[in-house]
Amino acid sequence: MSAQRRVDSAPTRLRSLADAYPDGILGATREGIVTILNAQGAALLGIDAQEALGLPLPEVLRLLDQDGKTWLEVNRPFESISIVRGVPEQSWLNASGEEVLTTGKLVRDGDLGPVLGIAVGLRSGRGRARLDRERSDLVAMVAHELRSPLTGVKGFVQALLNRWDKLSDDQRKLMLTTVNADADRLARLIAELLDVARIDTDRLQLYPRESSAEVLVRRVVDNIEAGTSRAIRLEVEDDLPEVFADPDKFTQVVTNLVENAIRHGQGQVSVGLAASPSLDGVRITVDDEGDGIPVELRRRVFTKFWTTGDSGGTGLGMYIVGGLARAHGGWVTIDDAPGGGARVMVDWPTEDRRPD
C-alpha cells in the first residue's frame, strides 16, 4: 500500500515543482498529447491546467502569429530533421491578444533519433515590452541631448552664412566659439555612448602608464573653472605617489565627478587628493554642498541613464566613472560630505591591478 501511495504521489510532486517554476512549462508526447502543464503556462494559454492533461497539443497550445498561423503550423517540431534540438525564442499572441514568448526543446531517442516528445517554455512578453519602452526612452533621451547642441550649431552657422558681411569680427568670433563648444559637447556625448558600449562588452581599450594625479587633476580643475566661472577648492597632499592610469580615462573620471558636483550641488565644490587608506594608491575626493545622495539610492547612481532632479544630463557620467575605475583595478564609493552634500571617493592604484 505504501508503494502504491508513493507512485500516486509522483505526478503530484512533479506538478508542484513545475508550478514553482516562474515560467510556463508545457510537455507533450510524440503523439501530441499533453502530459504536463503548470499553472503559469495554463494562465498564459487561458486553459485549466488539469483539464489540459490528455488533450491534443493543438487544443492547448493555441498561440497565433501575426498571420494567424499556429505555433505547431509554423514550427512542425515532430517533422524536423534529426539535427534539430530545439526551437529558438519566438513571439506569439494568446487568445487575449497578449504577447507570449516561447522556446522549445525536442526530446529525441538518441542523438539523431526520432522525436519522443516536446517541452515548450512559455513566458509573458510584458518584460520585453518594458525593455522596449526603456529603449524608446533611451532613444528619446539621446535624441534630445543631440538636438540641443545641433540646434545651436545650425543656428549660428546659418546666421554666419546669411550675415557674414554685416557682423563684426568680435561677433563672428563669439558665434564660432559657441559653435565650437557645441561641437565639443556633441563629441563628448558620442564618446560617452561608445564608452558605455565598450564597458558593457568588456572591450574597453586602455593605455595606462605611471602618471601624476596632481598634474591631471589640476588640469581638469583649471579647465572647468575657465568654462563655468565657478571656483573649485583643490587640496593636494604632499608626496603623493604616481597612479597607474590611462591619462585620458583618468581625466574623464575626474571631469565627470567635478561636473556632476557643479551640476547637482550648490555652493563650494572641493576636490582633494590624498594617499588611499584602502590600497597602495591615491584617493580622489570630490565634495559638493548640495542635498546629498540618500543611502538607499547610492547603488543606483552607478546604473546607466540614472538621473535625478531637474539637472538634466544623460545619466551616463557615474556609470562611466565606475566602469573606468574598475577597469584600472580601483573602485568608487559615495558618502556624506562634511558640508551636508555628497562626497564621491575614487581609490586609484599606483600599480597595474587591472582585472584579468
Name residue, grid cell 565627470.
Answer: 256
> Distance between CA 54 and CA 34 in Å, rounded?
5
Identify whether the C-beta of residue 59 lies closer than 8 Å to the C-beta of residue 39. no
Environment class of 119 (CB within 10 Å of its CB; exposed 0-12, middle 13-18, buried 19+): middle
| Cα(169)–Cα(211) distance, integer angstroms | 41
Q: In this predicted structure, what is the pLDDT of residue 308? A: 65
CB 29, CB 57: distance < 8 Å: no
Residue 190 φ then ψ, to 5°: -65, -40
Extract the residue ranges of the chain whose pLDDT is less than 50.
1-8
Three-state SS string across the chain, please? CHHHHHHHHHHHHHHHHHHHCCCEEEEEECCCEEEEECHHHHHHHCCCHHHHCCCEHHHHCCCECCCCCEHHHHHCHHHCCCCCCEEEEEEEECCCCCEEEEEEEEEECCCCCCEEEEEEEEEECHHHHHHHHHHHHHHHHHHHHHHHHHHHHHHHHHHHHHHHHHCCHHHHHHHHHHHHHHHHHHHHHHHHHHHHHHHHCCCCCCCCEEECHHHHHHHHHHHHHHHHCCCEEEEECCCCCCEEECHHHHHHHHHHHHHHHHHHCCCCEEEEEEECCCCCEEEEEEECCCCCCCHHHCCHHHCCCCCCCCCCCCCCHHHHHHHHHHHCCCEEEEEECCCCCEEEEEEEECCCCCCC
- For 42-97, what is each residue's pLDDT tens digit? 999 999 999 999 999 999 999 998 888 999 999 999 888 888 989 999 989 998 88
Tell me, what's the pLDDT at 12?
Answer: 67
The mean pLDDT of the chain is 87
- Residue 215 near residue 242, CB atoms below 8 Å: no
Distance CA 215, CA 236 (A): 10
Residue 127 has φ and ψ, to the nearest 5°, of: -65, -40
Residue among 173, 142, 129 at smallest CA distance from 305: 142
- Give the Cα separation of 43 and 56 in Å (integer): 18
Nine-digit cell string for 204: 574597453
Architecture of domain 2-124: 2-Layer Sandwich (3.30)
Residue 70 dihedral angles phi and psi, to the nearest 5°? -85, 165
pLDDT per residue as tens digits for the range 144-162: 778 888 888 999 999 999 9
CA 339 – CA 279 distance, rounded (Å): 26
CATH number of 209-349: 3.30.565.10
Q: Which residues contact 348 (CB under 8 A, 6 or more apart)?
A: 213, 243, 245, 250, 276, 281, 282, 283, 284, 325, 328, 330
The domain limits of the chain are 2-124, 129-200, 209-349
Residue 266 CB contacts under 8 Å (≥ 6 apart), including other chains: 288, 289, 290
Q: How far apart are CA 248 and CA 250, in angstroms?
A: 6
**CATH number for region 129-200:** 1.10.287.130
